[in-house]
Chains A and B, each alone.
Chain A
Amino acid sequence: MAQAIALEAPLQPIAVSAPAQLRLRRPRFRRRSIIPGFGLTFGFTLAWLCLIVLIPLSAVFVRTAGMGWSDFVATAFSERAIAAYRLSFGAALIAAAVNGVFGLLIAWILTRYEFAGKRLVNAIVDLPFALPTAVAGIALTALYAENGWIGQYLAPLGIKVAYTPLGVVVALIFIGLPFVVRSVEPVLADLGNDVEEAAATLGATRLQTFRRVILPSILPALLTGFALALARGIGEYGSVIFIAGNMPYRSEIAPLLIVTQLEQYDYAGATAIAMVMLIASFLLLLLINVLQAWTRSRSLSS
């Protein structure tokens, strides 16, 4: 019975003659399917998406549009705001780069080597996803304060981490690490051994094989992880504010500036900075989508 229907369905268009089919074809939003529930699930998805995400987000755009261009530029690019963007974007960039290196290393040992406690390592990599950011923030601050477990060894060297921009970088490294590991890991695991064998047969050293064969194949995934970590780092708040020191012009991140202005009931100021942050995250989201498509096309062709 099931088979009969399954066979019948694809035959139908062939049975109808070409002109008749043209007459019958009405513009339809979706292709015909025997599975029910399109109206219900699609309608609910769209309604919920609009109510929770799109309409609230549009408030930022509408508010900004109401400000006028010169007001917007004056508030969104004030000296203090620019210093905050520089810290947020700069620290996120450095942290994502550090994570690019160590994330790749961790993905490498997880996919290539066997060692005791590997499962534990695999589980703990996701800790930053599971640990609330505020908890991470106070823990890192306690560690890197001058009398902390790590801070006490850095202080004699003249390195101050807590309450400086360096602290922001440390917090963002913590937050961003799993993005790189989890992006690179599946691609590294799927990479066939044959190309590496071919490279070795042709006389390449291991380092040459890594640089010329492995690295190009995992590059899209590595960049995706880098961009994800970067996007998360730019907007990160909870883990940073405890360790940053929050001095305007020096160690104040952009999300904190939004909060400060909201607390002073300066909605326009907060909205203008939020607008800049939103545009930055939309651009990064676009980049991430392109990178993910690139990763997929790489893994399909290999």
Chain B
Amino acid sequence: MNAQATGESAATRLGLILVALLFLGLLLVLPLASIFVEALRRGIAAYGRAVVEPDAISAIKLTLLVAAISVPLNLVFGAAAAWAITKFDFPGKSILITFIDLPFSVSPVVSGLIYVLLFGVQGWFGDYLAERDIQIIFAVPGIVLATIFITFPFVARELIPLMAEQGRDDEEAALSLGASGWQTFWNVTLPNIRWGLLYGVLLCNARAMGEFGAVSVVSGHIRGQTNTMPLHVEILYNEYNFVAAFAVASLLALLAILTLVLKSALEWRYGYHGRGTGH
């Protein structure tokens, strides 16, 4: 019989751990390692050339620009949505939360398509935009819109359960002591939710910089103009320029590693654990 009533034997434990580690190694670690090996296959010089090539630089700049617009907007939205949902009682709250979650369950390709249906040449506003020479699809605004859609729930989903847990007592105390609404938010609420906010922003940013499907549909793949880093990876890969493709991919992999390191740091240092499952 078992040595411990509610534990497994040492052999079983070891076996289970080894199987799990083997699975993780094959499925996650090996692909991650292969990115860097493939990128450095022709040496560090070829790697450097691929990364500083003008099209790559412009892809990096566009990716940073898109994230710099979409992440703050979703941050403001997430904070506002969490405030409205957790500090007040009103009917239809759970429907509102479900609607906020919607972008998570929509295929990235469909997320891009909906903006093509609105702003593309045959779209609802296609003629209007064409007359005024405004381009949204196959241009930067479309990429930004699709990215905002894809990353829409990240911050809200992290903040809503966190702020619901914390209740309203702190805010009510501050307000009854004469603080204004903004003062209460900045000095009472924000310090309480800062790690959750950071956590949400971290994941939101990773997705915003890495989004492929939705951006691919609206971008038009114009080199040097509407190519984000993931799209640039695809173009290089399809041109059989594997070293360059993996070099640019390795930058995105580094971003992913940085995201995981910061996320783990939040969990270990500050004991913060993500509340929104299903990113």
Which A residues form the contact surface with B (CB < 8 A)? Answer: 1-2, 5-6, 29-31, 33-38, 40-42, 44-46, 48-49, 52-57, 59-60, 63, 102, 105-106, 108-109, 112-113, 115, 119, 121-136, 138-140, 142-143, 148-150, 173-174, 177, 179, 182-183, 193, 196-197, 200-201, 206, 209, 224, 228, 231, 234-238, 242, 254-256, 258-259, 262, 265, 267, 270-271, 274, 277-278, 281-282, 284-285, 288-289
Check A285/B117 contact, CB under 8 A, given A6-B176, A31-B89. no
Contact A53–B99 (Cβ < 8 Å): yes
Q: Which residue of B lies closest to A4 (CB)?
A: B176
Check A59/B260 contact, CB under 8 A, given A125-B24, A133-B210, A235-B107. no
Mark interface residues in B163-190 (1 if CB within 8 Å of A CB, else 0).
0000010011101110011001100000
Contact A127–B249 (Cβ < 8 Å): no
Task: Provide a sorted-by-A list of 7 A–B residue pairs whose CB atoms are within 8 angstroms.
Answer: A30-B90, A33-B89, A49-B99, A130-B256, A130-B260, A133-B108, A281-B105
Contact A132–B102 (Cβ < 8 Å): no
Q: How far is the CB of A80 from chain B (nearest CB, A)?
A: 16
Contact B245–A138 (Cβ < 8 Å): yes
Contact B260–A6 (Cβ < 8 Å): no
Our count of residue pairs bridging A and B at CB distance below 8 angstroms stands at 310
Complex interface: stretch among B28-36, B42-50, B51-59, B127-135: B28-36
Cα of A66 to Cα of B125 in the assembled complex, Å: 17
Q: Which residue of A lies closest to B115 (CB)?
A: A56
B11 at the A/B interface (Cβ < 8 Å)? no
Q: How far is the CB of A45 from chain B (nearest CB, A)?
A: 4
Contact B6–A127 (Cβ < 8 Å): no
Contact B107–A277 (Cβ < 8 Å): yes
Contact A113–B13 (Cβ < 8 Å): yes
Contact A37–B268 (Cβ < 8 Å): no
Check A126/B210 contact, CB under 8 A, given A105-B16, A113-B13. no
Cα of A284 to Cα of B211 in the assembled complex, Å: 22
Q: How far is the CB of B36 from chain A (nearest CB, A)?
A: 10
**15 extra A-B contacts, CB within 8 A, seeds A109-B20, A177-B28, A234-B107:** A38-B84, A41-B83, A49-B81, A131-B32, A131-B256, A133-B212, A134-B233, A148-B34, A182-B278, A254-B107, A256-B109, A262-B116, A278-B110, A282-B105, A285-B102
Contact A149–B16 (Cβ < 8 Å): no
Which of A102, A138, A206 has the most C-beta atoms of chain B within 10 angstroms of its own C-beta? A138
Mark interface residues in B126-164 (1 if CB within 8 Å of A CB, else 0).
000000000000000000010011001000000000000
Report A-chain residues with C-beta under 8 Å of the C-beta of B233.
Answer: 134-135, 138
Partner among B88, B103, B246 whose Cβ is within 8 Å of the Cβ of A31:
B88
For window 86-108 of chain B, which residues contact chain A by CB distance below 8 Å?
Answer: 87-91, 96, 98-108
Which B residues form the contact surface with A (CB < 8 A)? Answer: 2, 5-8, 12-13, 16-17, 19-21, 23-24, 26-32, 34-35, 38, 77, 80-81, 83-85, 87-91, 96, 98-110, 113-118, 120, 122-124, 145, 148-149, 152, 168, 171-173, 175-177, 180-181, 184-185, 203, 206, 209-213, 216-217, 229-231, 233-234, 237, 242, 245-246, 249, 252-253, 255-257, 259-261, 263-264, 268, 274, 277-279
Report B-chain residues with C-beta under 8 Å of the C-beta of A259.
Answer: 109, 216-217
Q: Which residue of A lies closest to B172 (CB)?
A: A34
Report B-chain residues with C-beta under 8 Å of the C-beta of A197.
Answer: 5-6
Q: How far is the CB of A67 from chain B (nearest CB, A)?
A: 13
Cα of A128 to Cα of B32 in the assembled complex, Å: 10
Q: How far is the CB of B207 from chain A (nearest CB, A)?
A: 8
Cα of A174 to Cα of B28 in the assembled complex, Å: 7
Interface of B is mostly: helix
Check A102/B6 contact, CB under 8 A, given A29-B91, A52-B152. no
Q: How far is the CB of B266 from chain A (nearest CB, A)?
A: 11
Cα of A274 to Cα of B116 in the assembled complex, Å: 12
Cα of A175 to Cα of B193 in the assembled complex, Å: 29
Cα of A133 to Cα of B229 in the assembled complex, Å: 12
Report A-chain residues with C-beta under 8 Å of the C-beta of B17.
Answer: 109, 113, 115
Report B-chain residues with C-beta under 8 Å of the C-beta of A133.
Answer: 108, 210, 212-213, 230
Closest 9 CB pairs of A and B: A235-B107, A132-B210, A238-B212, A237-B213, A200-B5, A36-B181, A30-B90, A255-B109, A130-B256
Partner among B83, B96, B213, B237 whose Cβ is within 8 Å of the Cβ of A37:
B83
Q: How far is the CB of A88 from chain B (nearest CB, A)?
A: 9
Cα of A137 to Cα of B278 in the assembled complex, Å: 20
